[in-house]
Structures are given as structure tokens and as C-alpha cells.
Amino acid sequence: MQEIKVHPPILNTITLCLKAIFEAHQVADKVVANTLQENKNFGARDRSTIAETVYDIVRWKLKYEYQLAQLGEQFTYYKHLVFVSFVNRNYAIKNIELFDITNSEVLRLNEIIQKAIDEKYIEQSYPKTFYDFCLDSIGASWHQIAKALNVKPSVYIRVNSLKTSAANLIEILYKEGIEIEALAKNSYLKILSKNNLKNSLYYKQGLFEFQDIGSQEIGNFLFHAIEDKSKIDNISILDLCAGAGGKSLHLSALLNNRGKIYATDYHAARLKKLQLRATQAGCKNIEIIDFKSVKNLKNIDFLLIDAPCSGSGTFKRQADLKYKISTEKINEYTQIQENLLATYISTLKKNGKIVYATCSILPQENQLQIQNFLAKNKTQWQEKQSQQLLPTMYDGDGFFMTLLERKDK
């Protein structure tokens, strides 16, 4: 057990973050980033304590509230959530008076924490309605998936092959004191140290990108679907929901700057940094286009629809999403996905293909969505192959991807 003294400015900063997340419904990682940016007086250890405590409480809020309720009805303040977070993480707080709690109550809390929680949704800190929805949709395997989605996420980077090799980057970062674990023949690099690589000169030079290994698999999935690699110079890809452009950048590297990638997004603001990122990464085959002009495109080889979704596969990184998802929102997403599939197949050439993907673990957004599409287009389209990545299977987020091709190709 590690002893710690929590200073009032630290507690106040954590409380401000929690209020913004739970009361103003702001995005957790943006709240933490902005708060630390505004409070540069904190040292590295304090900044780490603030970030880790906020994320821990966001992940386990319902469980911590349950434990506090067992202790007494008066323990309902943010400072009590902070206290129970530290205790659950095996810290012994030296100045417990800051939290209005007694030594006997601390002993009682430790006893409560050791007791098993019968209700799975409380044990794993999910809203009951959402937990039950997933159980009905996925089946008994949801219990283990829910648990896996609560594991602290690993940090992965993607080597930008347009500028360097995995071996060279590993050597460079090693000299900088960055601990790395290379997986799958150096295809994926896992960062083990706590260094802030986003401030690294090598990141700013475009030698690597931060990208979950599941997200990287979508680019690999599409690239492997290109049957005749000798014709890459003439290949065209439409990244319809490009967002910040991570998959466009990856595809650009996989294509070695050959062919053409059109990147767009319904929310134009999401594309703002893509041109800068593409320039930084040395990507020359990406063209950013306005979403309204997409329907004018014709004869595209691959339509990549990384569809808007619940994000239920990303709870490791975005635990606050657990409290924001509703069946109504899921229905909204499935309707958007259906519309994207129905509308933009017109951009494809006769033998063009669709790669549909989500960062969801829900069948409604994945397998059932594709079944619905094929039922409506059973004479024209077929599913060639699909892949469901679950956090119970590997160290990444939850993703789904499928390759659709015309029957008359």
C-alpha cells in the first residue's frame, strides 16, 4: 500500500474535471487535457495524479457510488469519489481530514471494497439499462466483454513507412529512453513508458502516429482486399467518414503514396487538422473534399465507410461514453449507417467494393446492419469476408469490419 498526501489544489482540480464531465457532459479526455493546459504550475507527478484519478472515477463511478452508499448516506460528494478511488487503487491517504472521513470509516470502507458485488452492472460500473441491452444483444459473452472494456488501455503507435522503418524508429525512441514492446514482427509498437510522445520531435516530424491496433487493422483489411497490387497506381479510395484522417494516413502509407485517396466527413470541422497531418506525414495521394461534392464522384474502386456508431468498442479509452449511450442513440446511429450504405454505393465503379467498419461491439451496428443491407440488395451484393475484433481476444479496442462486393463483378 502506497501512502499519499492529497493537497487541496489537487482535490479541487479533480473535482472541477468531474463536474465538467458528469454535470456539463463534456468529453473526459478533452476536459483533462484542457484543465492541465490551464494549470501548468502542477508538476509531472501532480498532473499524472489528476489525470489518472479522473479517468479512474469516470470508469468506475457507479461501483464507487455503490461502495460509498454502503458506508453511509452522507458520502455523496465528489471528494468522496476521489477518496474511494484512491482506496480502491491501494493508496493510504495521510490527510483523511481533507475528505471529512474518520479512521474507523476508512477501515469500514476497506471491508466493503473486499466484498463481492452481486450485480454485474454495478461490479463493472455500467448503467443497468445499457448493460441489460448489451446482454440481450450479445448474450452471456457480454459479461467478459464488459470486463475487458474496463481494462486500462495500452498506447500503440503506427510507424509511418513513408518516412522510416519500424527497426529505425525503435532504435530512435530507445535512445530517447522510450520503452517499447514490438508485436507481430514489428507491425505494432506498444509504448510502455509514460513519456509524453505527443511533444516528441519525431512525432512532429511525422515518423509515427498514435493509433489503436484495431484501428490499424481496418487499413490492413482494405489493403489486403486489393487483389491486383500491380494496379495500385490507378486505385481510388473514398474515405467517407474520415474524421481526423487516421485511416486515410494509414492507407496512404500502405499504398506508398500511389493511387488516390479522397477524404471527407459530414462534419467538416473534423477534417481541419488532416491537411497538416498529411503534410507532416509526407502523404501526397490524399485529397480532402467537401462532403456535399461526394455524390459527384464516380468509378471509385473502394468505398470505406468507417461509420458513425455508438463507440461501444472504445470504452477503454472513452469510459464516459458508457453513461451517454441510450437505445435511442443506437437507433439513430443504425439509421445513419443504413443511409450511408444505401446512398454512396453510387460512387463505385461496376466492380468496386465496400469496406464497412465500426468501433462498436453491438450486432445492431455490425452483423445485423450488414444483413439488412444484403437483404435489400440480395441480387447485387454479397459479403466476401468479415472480422470482429473484441477486447477479450486481444489488447486493442472493439472493432468490426466487412468486405462487400458485387455478385456480378
Q: DSSP string covering 179-201, please?
A: -EEEETTTTEEEE-S---GGG-H
| Residue 409 predicted with pLDDT over 70 | no
Q: How far apart are CA 50 and CA 85, in angstroms?
A: 12
**Assigned domain for 322 exists:** yes
Using pLDDT thresholds of 50, 70 and 90, give the confidence band for residue 408. confident
CATH number at residue 341: 3.40.50.150
User: What DSSP state is assigned to residue 266?
Assistant: S
Domain count across the chain: 3
**Assigned domain for 73 exists:** yes
**Assigned domain for 365 exists:** yes
Span 45-68, mean pLDDT? 96
**Assigned domain for 135 exists:** no
Which backbone phi and psi does 24 adopt, to 5 degrees? Answer: -95, -5
* Together in a domain, 179 and 248: no
* Together in a domain, 294 and 364: yes
CA distances from 237 to 199, 225, 283, 396 (A): 32, 12, 14, 25
* Together in a domain, 317 and 358: yes
* Together in a domain, 23 and 171: no
Q: Which of 210, 227, 254 is the last residue of a domain?
A: 210
Cβ contact 255:285 at 8 Å: yes
**Assigned domain for 99 exists:** yes
Q: How far apart are CA 108 and CA 239, in angstroms?
A: 55
pTM for the full predicted model:
0.94
User: pLDDT value at position 140?
Assistant: 97
* Together in a domain, 183 and 256: no
DSSP lists the bridge partners of residue 159 as: 208
Cβ atoms within 10 A of the Cβ of 333, count?
Answer: 22
SS3 content of the chain, % helix, strand, coil (to 5): 50, 15, 35
Span 250-268, mean pLDDT? 97
CATH number at residue 202: 3.30.70.1170
**Assigned domain for 130 exists:** no
Q: Residue 246, SS3? A: helix
* Together in a domain, 273 and 383: yes
| pLDDT tens readout for residues 348-379 | 999 999 999 999 999 999 999 999 999 999 88
Residue 323 is part of which domain span?
Answer: 213-406
Q: Which of 167, 185, 210 is the last residue of a domain?
A: 210
In 255-343, which ranges are continuous DSSP H helix?
Answer: 274-281, 327-343
| pLDDT tens readout for residues 142-186 | 999 999 999 999 999 999 999 999 999 999 999 989 999 998 877
Q: How far apart are CA 254 and CA 246, in angstroms?
A: 13
* Together in a domain, 189 and 227: no
| Among the listed residues 65, 83, 7, 96, the one whose alpha carbon sits nearest the alpha carbon of residue 104 | 96
